[in-house]
Amino acid sequence: MDWNNPLIHTVVVIVGITVAFLSIMLLVAFTVLAERRVLGFIQGRLGPNRVGYFGVLQPFADFIKTMMKEDLVPDQSTKFVFLLAPTVAVITAIMAIIVYPFGPTVWLPFIGSFPLVIARFDVALLYVLGVTSVGVYGIALAGWSSNNKYSLMGGLRSSAQLISYELALGMALIGVILMSGSLDIYTIVEQQSGAYGMNWNVFYQPVGFIIYLIAAIAETNRVPFDLPEAETELVAGFHTEYSSIKFLLFFNAEYINMITVSMLASSLFLGGWNGPGVSVFPWLGLVYFAAKILFFIFLYIWLRGTLPRFRFDQLMNFGWKFLMPLALINIFLTATVQAFGGDLIALIKSWFA
């Protein structure tokens, strides 16, 4: 099959986007269910288990119920921006998925071999960061346009939090970029294959991994960083005034963001689709990648069931006075070792020679 033919290429990309979109949406639905079930077990209760076997159909029942609700638009709100905000939130959340490699080059009958990635380009990592940074507007505009003080405070808090932790997040990634010498996620994943998993970046960038994990949890507004939605202070934060499908969009955006930061973490630090047997059966890569994403999602739910919420000043201090300097030190050390590591090892060897 001629992959360079633009028509075929376009069709393949559209099919890829559709498949990825549907999978992510299904994953979102079952993440919501898993969250409620796992939280139930953590808190010593059962969670939803009535709709379908083990409550499998619960997310769809919730979806239909939420869709049936009245779609309220506050009278004093800025109507256009009020409609724009959830759209921006969900579009920017879903746009990031096109750059992640879901698996290695695989083979299908009648189609031939092709890599399991929708788009490969030079600045994939910057693209992800850029799309994420535009996502701030969804929340900030939602808070502003609702014309409600709780929404405004939630929106402001959330944007401040996103901006603060985006820096730490970006800097945690620089360590990986320095080591791999590329911004292309596919290349970074390929570099981590082999050596029985010892090439995974998490072993070379443990500090960067921890910083990324913490910053990613803060980026997605999850416990213990869920200040924007602190119910006791802010009702429901920036989406207080949103109901029906617009609430659903925000809800979706949050869970899609969870999944995409998990994808980025597993691609950059845990070797992406790499795992035992991938070189023989390439389709196994898809399974490993999914397993790593599910691990991070479980971590999210686990944290939510375990940790209390930060205070806002603690959040800011932690981000700016601890994570940022730590990330800077990590960059400095990584760069030094990258530049002089070989010389240093030679020097130490010469002492013992």
Partner 1 sequence: MGWHDRLSLSDLTFAMITSLLFILFAGLAIGCALAVVAQRNPLYSAISLIGVFISLSSLYLMLAAPFIAAVQIIVYAGAIMVLVVFVIMLLDLEVEERRHPRLAYLVPVAIGFAAVLIAEVAFVLKSVPLPKVHPPGPADVGLTASIGVGLFTKYLLPFEITSILLLMALVGAMTLARRTPLLAAVGHRLVTGSKLPPAAAAEAETTPKSDERN
Is residue 96 within 8 A of residue 156, CB to CB? The reply is no
Q: Does 93 bind partner 1 (CB under 8 A)?
A: no
Is residue 282 within 8 A of residue 107, CB to CB? The reply is yes
Binding mask 174-193 for partner 1 (x = CB under 8 A): -------x-x----------
Q: Given candidates 23, 49, 66, 78, which one binds partner 1 under the rule CB under 8 A?
A: 78
- C-beta closer to partner 1: residue 123 or 344: 123
Q: Does 141 bind partner 1 (CB under 8 A)?
A: yes
Q: Does 63 bind partner 1 (CB under 8 A)?
A: no
First-residue to last-residue Cα distance in the chain: 58
Q: Does 29 bind partner 1 (CB under 8 A)?
A: no
Closest listed residue to residue 88, CA positions, set 37, 31, 145: 145
- Minimum CB–partner distance for residue 307 and partner 1 (Å): 28
- C-beta closer to partner 1: residue 136 or 278: 136
Torsion over CA: 298, 300, 302, 304 (sign): negative
Count Cα atoms within 13 angstroms, Cβ side, for 127. Answer: 18
Q: Does 12 bind partner 1 (CB under 8 A)?
A: no
Is residue 232 within 8 A of residue 240, CB to CB? The reply is no
- C-beta closer to partner 1: residue 141 or 263: 141
- C-beta closer to partner 1: residue 29 or 185: 185
Find residue 115's DSSP bridge partners.
Answer: 105
Q: Given candidates 96, 116, 140, 188, which one binds partner 1 under the rule CB under 8 A?
A: 140
For residue 43, count other CB atoms closer than 10 A to its CB.
Answer: 10
- C-beta closer to partner 1: residue 28 or 117: 117
Which residues make Cβ contacts (< 8 Å) with residue 88, sequence separation at least 6?
134, 135, 137, 138, 141
d(CA 138, CA 229): 15
- Minimum CB–partner distance for residue 292 and partner 1 (Å): 26
Q: Does 91 bind partner 1 (CB under 8 A)?
A: no
- What DSSP letter does each residue of 94-160 carry, written as one string? HHGGGGS--EEEEEETTTEEEEE-S---TTHHHHHHHHHHHTHHHHHHHHHHTT-HHHHHHHHHHHH
- C-beta closer to partner 1: residue 218 or 293: 218
Helices (H), the chain: 6-42, 58-68, 79-95, 124-134, 136-145, 149-180, 185-191, 201-204, 206-219, 231-234, 244-268, 284-306, 312-317, 324-352
* Total site size for partner 1, rule CB under 8 A: 30
Is residue 142 within 8 A of residue 89, CB to CB? The reply is yes
Which residues, numbered 104-133, are part of the site for partner 1 (CB under 8 A)? 121-123, 126-127, 129-131, 133
Q: Does 245 bind partner 1 (CB under 8 A)?
A: no
Binding mask 193-222 for partner 1 (x = CB under 8 A): ------------------------------
Is residue 243 within 8 A of residue 70, CB to CB? The reply is yes
Q: Does 163 bind partner 1 (CB under 8 A)?
A: yes
Q: Does 137 bind partner 1 (CB under 8 A)?
A: yes
- C-beta closer to partner 1: residue 73 or 126: 126
Q: Does 144 bind partner 1 (CB under 8 A)?
A: yes
Binding region for partner 1 (CB under 8 A) = 5-7, 78, 80-81, 84, 121-123, 126-127, 129-131, 133-134, 136-137, 140-141, 143-144, 152, 155-156, 159, 163, 181, 183
